[in-house]
Amino acid sequence: MLTRRHLLATGLALALFPTTLAAGIQAYTPGLAEQAMREGKRIVLIFGADWCSTCRRQERIINDLRASSPRYDAELTIIRVDWDAYGTGELSRALAIPRRSTLIALNGDRELSRIIAGTREAEIRQLFDRALAG
């Protein structure tokens, strides 16, 4: 039997669970972004950490943008790279990622735009639009 306490705990857990990995955003595993680059896809890479307040702000804006424009999910390969797991990995080194809260738009392996620790909606929208334009 569900008690009020269970319902509150469930609601809190859901509120704290990162919504970033909802449909349309893939969690990075080694080779995923590299394969998309080789295939010439239009890509947005989100280098973030769950504990990073700047990253959380960026991801809220990204989710709002995705909700307002289904083209982003339909036409872009959006990949979230967990900074704690892959921040010093091969992909981060190859792209010279200086820190978490870095967003990159790519067309294949060609970089189109980069944001480091930016949290302005207009700037993030511009990055996504550059990715769409390829």
| DSSP summary character for residue 108 | T
pLDDT range class, residue 14, cuts 50, 70, 90: very low
Q: How many helices (H) and strands (E) does the chain have?
A: 7, 5
Does residue 67 belong to any structural domain of this protein? yes
In a domain, 13, yes or no: no
* Residue 127 domain-assigned (yes or no): yes
Both tokens assigned to 118: 């930016």
Predicted model pTM: 0.83
Confirm whether 33 is domain-assigned.
Answer: yes
* Region of poorest pLDDT, from 7-21, 37-51, 102-116: 7-21
Domain that holds residue 71: 19-133
In a domain, 85, yes or no: yes
Kindly report, residue by residue over 60-94, the tens digit of the pLDDT: 999 999 999 999 999 999 999 999 999 999 999 99
Q: How many domains does the chain have?
A: 1
Chain segment 32-60, per-residue pLDDT in tens: 999 999 999 999 999 999 999 999 999 99
Helix ranges (H only) for the chain are 4-16, 32-38, 53-68, 71-75, 83-86, 90-94, 121-133
Q: How far is CA 37 from CA 33, 63, 80, 104, 108, in A?
A: 6, 23, 15, 12, 4
Query: Per the domain annotation, does 11 fall within a domain?
Result: no
The answer to whether residue 5 is domain-embedded is no
CATH of the domain at 75: 3.40.30.10
